[in-house]
Structure 1
Amino acid sequence: MKFKILLALIFVNLIQAQKFYFPQTAVTDSVVFEKHIPGLALQVISQLQTTKNKPKNNVDLLDDLSRLQVVAKDYKGSIITLAEHRKEFAENNMAGYKSLAYEVYSMAKLNELKNKMPFPKAFQAAFNKKYESMDEKIIPRVSIVLKGDVRNFRKLLKTIMDKQKGKDSIGYGSALALCKTYLNYKVFSSIQPYVSQAIAAKDKENFIIETQDLKTKAGSTLTITIVRKKENKLPLPVILANNIYAGPFDDYFGKRAAIYNYVGAVVNTRGKRNSNDINNPFEHESQDIYEVIDWISKQPWSNGKVGMIGGSYLGFSQWAAVKKLHPALKTIVPQVAVGIGIDYPAQNNVFMSYMLQWIQYVTNNKYTDEADFGNAAKWDSINTAWYKSGRSFRSLDTISGKPNKIFQRWLDHPGYDQYWQKMVPYKEDFARVNIPVLTTTGYYDDDQIGALYYFKQHYQYNKDADHYLVIGPYDHRAAQSFGTTYVNGNPIDPVARISIDELAFSWFDYILKDGKKPELLKDRVNFQVMNTNTWKHVPTLDRMHTSTLKFYLKDHKNSESVFTKPESPDFTKQIVDFKSRNDKDLYYKISKTDSAKVNNLIHFESEPLDKDIIISGNLSGLLNVSINKKDMDTDIYLYQVQPNGKLSLLSTHKTRASYSKNNEVRQLLEPNKMEQIPIRQSMFTSKKVEKGSKLLLFVGIGKSPNWQINYGTGKDVSEETIQDSGEPLEIKWYNDSYVEIPVYKD
């Protein structure tokens, strides 16, 4: 009896300390593990909604709960929770089906238990039932969400288990991670042997899918996949995607177009799938796509009209396609389009470390190297090793253990020169782009600068361009897919919860089938004003704002408002030591719960706003500076500090000072002389900022493992090393410098 009481007290103490019992033998004995993991999941569920552990929003709570219920073998409960999750998350057929694998697995397990059938048969029955009940628009995604990287899941599970060796208890966070990682491995390893066959059977019922190789005039091989809905017998317009991410997305892009009653065509770039050509991303799209469109337009299932769609690289591809416009190409829908040489692989002429990770992702094999790309720990380690070594940025590929010609070739072009210019329309080329265009991007899209670069250039050189823009509170993924309900964990306004897919194919219906123009497109620029639940519609980007507010680099606590020009000249001095590599993260504390990382940044804070304002557009302005070197890379961050102390990022800007006036020609700074750095190509946003909020502005210098380090010698930055750092960088930020904030008023 005393022993039972003692165990109970231990259990209570573990729960109170958020430690759960989990025997150390579970790490080495799979039978013991399988016996105890359901109980661990139940313990985590009991603590899931406590104040300390509760996820930041209901969607995350339901997601965690549904997964834990599967681990606890409460399959019926999990299915109910997933339905609630989908209802809240997946308005307008959006991303709520990401948990489809867990639902079908739970349905299969219930079949297995209730009907005493073997799992393969139980899975087939569950899959068929779920497939038949789906909205047709979801069907193309099934092959993606039901296939997981089992090998990687096993590796992640082992990593977590290794940390438990020799322990009989586990903390809440580790227990939650263990349960979710185990679930991924368990579910996908269980269903993987049967998924492909089940999907193939349904595809055979609904689609005609053909894959073949095309030979270009240059002798290159391109693999193309054609997808048609069986019920469509007559020739149709063709929706083409140019896809470097060869694999499951080929079928997805094709089936998506077919579902909307088009012919789907997906061509892989040189070196992918069946092509033995050299894979040089971005370099041959303009030439190759012209020939692909020519071939498509002559096929019996084509009515001679072609449209293009796709995001990121696929968005870039459409601008490459109109460099040499084929008569059959009637419209393009570039989504979150990479601005090659503009925002990737360098943003405003500053190269990013991520470029090497991406290059290997798409060139390591004929498809995509998911395991390598998804190994965040590996790439963080590589970037950190380079940073701490002080070696040149050119050495990053060598440090990774895999020298790369593409990486080196890109670094040979730090300015926006002919190498980049020949890939997409350049200046007057845009005047010849005379087909309708629909661009989508988001305030949180990594390629927003590129997407808007094309939009601005098109109108600059073609005043009569038929080009529409939709921009809202979307990240890189949401602005090229179904859309979303949450961004960065926060809910977006209900009117912004649109299906980007529906918008895109409504556009195709409008252009290619003489349909009705999408209701949202009331003017050339259509933008959602966050926190107002409204869309606005204006003819140009400049009309996104009606006035501006200049934020000067001065301390309002010791002087007049930051929004008034300083009465007397002054400066704030900043010193950055490039020799130091033992950086500790520094934070500017906003409130008890919020802070901002401020390494190599200085801050300026406004007084509380005396009324609501709508910040709408992108930051501009002028930095008046004096430095003791010939160059530097500057960072700007503008935040809103809400009255409750919560921090929200509004906009960012990064640039190389020597390219800030002209991204094609480098103009070095003269040491110890006042120079002007214009603020151009910053991130757009549109948001109501409430009365009582403060604006918090950070300016400073880029110095991290994620970007090149500019030591300021004036040499090629990719060649500079820590040996070039010399004396610390000294910057005088003059108080007549200002960031111009765009403001919208009805």
Structure 2
Amino acid sequence: MKIKILLALILVNLMQAQKFSFPKNAVTDSTILEKQMPLLASKLMTQPQFLKLKNSNRLAYLDNLLRLQMVAKDYKKSITTLSDYRNEFAAHNMAGNKFIAYEFYSMAKLMEAKEKLTFPVALQKAFNKKYESLPDKLITKVGIAVDGDVNGSRKLLKETLEKQKDKDSIDYGAALALCKSYLNYKSFSGIKPQIVHLVELKDQEKFITETKDLKTKNGNTLTITIVRKKENTAPLPVILTNNIYAGPIDALFGKRAAVYNYVGAVVNTRGKRNSNDENNPFEHESQDIYEVIDWVSKQPWSNGKVGMIGGSYLGFSQWAAVKKLHPALKTIVPQVAVGVGIDYPAQNNIFMSYMLQWINYVTNNKLTDEADFNNAKKWDSINTAWYKGGKSFRALDTISGKPNKIFQRWLDHPGYDEYWQKMVPYKEDFANINIPILTTTGYYDDDQIGALSYFKAHHQYNKNANHYLVMGPYDHGGAQSFGFTYVNGNPIDPAARISIDDLAFSWFDYILKNGKKPDLLKDRINFQVMNTNTWKHVPTLEKMHTSTMKFYLQDHKNTPSVFNQPTQKNFIKQTVDFKNRDQKETYHAVSKIDSVKTTNSVYFESEVLSKDLIISGNLAGFFNVSINKKDFDTDTYLYQVNPEGKTFLLSTHIVRASYAKNNAVRQLLEPGKTEQIPIKNSIFISKKIEKGSKLILLVGVNKNPNWQINYGTGKDVSDETIKDASEPLEIKWYNDSYVEIPIYQE
């Protein structure tokens, strides 16, 4: 009985420890708020819930500690914590990381107190001290790093405080969120205008920056920004970027090329900046870039050689540029390149809800609509309203309150038809691309499928393609900047923490200035094997693996091994009701500490692996299925469960069954007939899987607000509604289906 009472008291104390006194009038009185915030931050740093992070998640611990120390006005410690963070987690001491604004603020506050200065004077001294310590390659990123959204942070702080209205206490989670939003507003509003001005003054000392409007032969206007180092007076090769994301990033890209001793030229697409032309993303790049290259190659500051660089849409632009190759274009470095019509706005022929959000982002104004794009609550509610309401996917723009002809035009082309094909090289076009190319992508890159589609087609149609690939544990941002220490919450090997910028400009030196070939490029394919701290180098994508093993749709509990072909043909039946929009998420415990989401999926688990193996490449194989409809969208996930019981997502695959054999021509399934669906264009990865792990395979049906919903009638999926759902989809997954897993052995 005494033990029970003691435990109850401990529980009460713990619950009380999670509540902090916070006066009601702090919400409306800024003077009281200023006094309360340091006290609140100091309390948070002593809480067991916070201190527990020190061992369980050191990245989050140092991130939060830095912020709380600043709110508590312990600026000396915050600078030390920032140094610890960078030493332990940052791949490089990048000026462009999210914390340099905090560093300026902390340094200025220390100088303000120590030297009895006004804050603006202290901030200028802090800026000069930090700026002078940075190498040229990092100073280009300072302006972007301090360009925080002051209005957005003010709004978020107001919303966070509003939640405390009429309350005299605050819980741990709300208190931490309040400290973060308070710090963001306090620091960015305190330093942004002055630092931006100081960066401009420094740029004027170092660079010559010009902005011009170019007129194309068709009468269109394109705005171009040219950046040169003042000390470079002789003509140089030009590094060109085609940028739809007009804004401060233009100057950043220009300065980046300039500090590597090139001329940086950044041209905006039609309809951006000073252009009054219609903005139709993807449609005019091939034509416009040819004329831009022609112009820049003939300028007095150009030596006639042009290279191109950029990621995502900017990567796509380079492939558009080589559809009609200009003689002055000597090389391209497409990074995480969008495979237009292949992985965006539809991935393997399934349109994504995100496409409407992105279209608005780049077309709402002459720059980018950051406020609208970053309004996650708005877009989640739009996608949820569409999903819950059961209207056609084509109605998504109307539901958003703003009909969009670009969105509708894209939906009119669900197959990889001439509309998409004319934007970039197609089939035999690749045979004419004889300039050297360096592609970068990552295992976590949203446009990996697109980036690799160009690489594969180039080598398929041009047997002498001088085209290199670098691929590692990078996300969409990392594969066009530098290898972050943590990706998706997981640490990456030290060998992978490379500067993609340095690699790209070493490549430009090699091609455009007769320099040395980058050491990393030992063969056509250069990939980092996660969990081994090594890079591998092979001549083709197929050589990334030396063998394969087939994971059949069966469970190890019913068979000696899921990797052996079943002795008897059988099937598992799955039922998916598309009319049910209030479906609860389901999960399957894979260990005592972790689980995977299994909603609309069938679960298969392998036996425990008796030895280490390296999975390297992408999933292949076939699904043998029969369904009661004419079409459906498959959704596949492969996980590792490591010996400690933690899950790791290895690869995914999503495809519209009717386009699985040919992404240009729809071939509907015959209800009740066994059909074979090939697995192509899945996600590449290379990772060592430890002995004692097991593999989890989930196969199922796509049904969520992030993608179109395929009701299986055979009509244009964009026009189907919940009224087309009729009876639930029934799938027979036959056990002779298999996912082929690529294995690498020395």
With the shorter chain as reference, the TM-score category is over 0.9
2:54 and 2:169 map into 1 onto residues whose CA distance is: 21
Measure how far apart 1:94 and its partner are. 4.5
Aligned to 2:141, the other structure's residue is in SS state helix
- TM norm structure 2: 0.97
Which residue is equivalent to 2:435? Answer: 435
Preserved contact between residue 93 and residue 482 of structure 1 (Cα < 8 Å): no
1:725 paired to 2:725: yes
Give the aligned length.
737
Aligned to 1:623, the other structure's residue is in SS state strand
Aligned-pair identity in percent equals: 75
2:607 and 2:404 map into 1 onto residues whose CA distance is: 50
Measure how far apart 1:436 and its partner are. 0.4
1:560 and 1:670 map into 2 onto residues whose CA distance is: 34
1:553 and 1:563 map into 2 onto residues whose CA distance is: 9
Residues 115-145 of structure 1 show CA distances to partners (whole Å, capped at 9, x for unaligned) of 2222222211111111111122111111101
* More deviation, 711-720/638-647: 638-647
Preserved contact between residue 37 and residue 179 of structure 1 (Cα < 8 Å): yes
Preserved contact between residue 444 and residue 476 of structure 1 (Cα < 8 Å): yes
Alignment of 1:346-495 (within 5 A): 346-495=346-495
2:319 and 2:708 map into 1 onto residues whose CA distance is: 28
Residues 366-418 of structure 1 show CA distances to partners (whole Å, capped at 9, x for unaligned) of 11111111111111111000000000000001111111111000000000000
Distance 1:579 1:423, change over 3 A: same
1:608 and 1:355 map into 2 onto residues whose CA distance is: 41
Aligned to 1:286, the other structure's residue is in SS state helix
Which residue is equivalent to 1:710? Answer: 710
2:139 and 2:123 map into 1 onto residues whose CA distance is: 17
Which residue is equivalent to 1:6? Answer: none
Which residue is equivalent to 2:501? Answer: 501
Which residue is equivalent to 2:739? Answer: 739
Preserved contact between residue 24 and residue 168 of structure 1 (Cα < 8 Å): yes
Preserved contact between residue 95 and residue 483 of structure 1 (Cα < 8 Å): no
Which residue is equivalent to 1:189? Answer: 189
Matched letter for residue 426 of structure 1: Y
Matched letter for residue 346 of structure 2: A
1:532 paired to 2:532: yes
Matched letter for residue 491 of structure 1: P
Aligned to 2:99, the other structure's residue is in SS state helix
Matched letter for residue 151 of structure 1: N
Matched letter for residue 314 of structure 2: L
1:90 paired to 2:121: no
Aligned to 2:140, the other structure's residue is in SS state helix
Alignment of 1:597-612 (within 5 A): 597-612=597-612
Aligned to 2:111, the other structure's residue is in SS state helix
Distance 1:103 1:94, change over 3 A: closer
Which residue is equivalent to 1:249? Answer: 249
2:305 and 2:573 map into 1 onto residues whose CA distance is: 60
Which residue is equivalent to 2:149? Answer: 149
Distance 1:55 1:277, change over 3 A: farther
1:130 paired to 2:118: no
1:315 and 1:519 map into 2 onto residues whose CA distance is: 23
2:232 and 2:450 map into 1 onto residues whose CA distance is: 37
Distance 1:48 1:215, change over 3 A: farther
Measure how far apart 1:343 and its partner are. 0.3
Preserved contact between residue 390 and residue 721 of structure 1 (Cα < 8 Å): yes
1:96 and 1:62 map into 2 onto residues whose CA distance is: 18
Distance 1:93 1:501, change over 3 A: farther
1:269 paired to 2:269: yes
Distance 1:699 1:95, change over 3 A: farther
- RMSD over aligned Cα, in angstroms? 1.5
* More deviation, 61-70/663-672: 61-70
Aligned to 2:286, the other structure's residue is in SS state helix
Alignment of 1:74-85 (within 5 A): 74-85=74-85
1:730 and 1:201 map into 2 onto residues whose CA distance is: 66
Which residue is equivalent to 1:5? Answer: none
Matched letter for residue 544 of structure 2: M
Matched letter for residue 497 of structure 1: R
Structure 1: tracts of 5 or more residues without a match: 1-8
Which residue is equivalent to 1:559? Answer: 559
- TM norm structure 1: 0.97
1:533 and 1:265 map into 2 onto residues whose CA distance is: 37
Which residue is equivalent to 1:624? Answer: 624
Alignment of 1:666-685 (within 5 A): 666-685=666-685
1:508 and 1:186 map into 2 onto residues whose CA distance is: 42
Preserved contact between residue 96 and residue 141 of structure 2 (Cα < 8 Å): no
Structure 2: tracts of 5 or more residues without a match: 1-8
Preserved contact between residue 474 and residue 487 of structure 1 (Cα < 8 Å): yes
Residues 537-578 of structure 1 show CA distances to partners (whole Å, capped at 9, x for unaligned) of 000000000000000001221123110111111000000000
Measure how far apart 1:354 and its partner are. 0.4
Distance 1:555 1:89, change over 3 A: closer
1:26 paired to 2:26: yes
Distance 1:14 1:650, change over 3 A: closer
Matched letter for residue 105 of structure 1: Y
Aligned to 1:37, the other structure's residue is in SS state helix
Preserved contact between residue 225 and residue 250 of structure 2 (Cα < 8 Å): yes
2:557 and 2:122 map into 1 onto residues whose CA distance is: 69
Residues 150-175 of structure 1 show CA distances to partners (whole Å, capped at 9, x for unaligned) of 11111111221111112222121211
Measure how far apart 1:48 and its partner are. 6.8
Which residue is equivalent to 1:3? Answer: none
Residues 656-705 of structure 1 show CA distances to partners (whole Å, capped at 9, x for unaligned) of 00000000000000000000000000000000111111110000000000
Preserved contact between residue 482 and residue 497 of structure 2 (Cα < 8 Å): no
Matched letter for residue 489 of structure 1: G
2:696 and 2:264 map into 1 onto residues whose CA distance is: 48
* More deviation, 83-92/25-34: 83-92
Matched letter for residue 665 of structure 1: V
Preserved contact between residue 525 and residue 538 of structure 1 (Cα < 8 Å): yes
Matched letter for residue 460 of structure 1: Q
Matched letter for residue 582 of structure 1: D
Measure how far apart 1:16 and its partner are. 5.1
Runs (4+) of structure 1 moved beyond 6 Å? none
Aligned to 2:692, the other structure's residue is in SS state coil
Residues 417-450 of structure 1 show CA distances to partners (whole Å, capped at 9, x for unaligned) of 0000000000000001100000000000000000
Preserved contact between residue 611 and residue 691 of structure 2 (Cα < 8 Å): yes
* More deviation, 50-59/62-71: 50-59
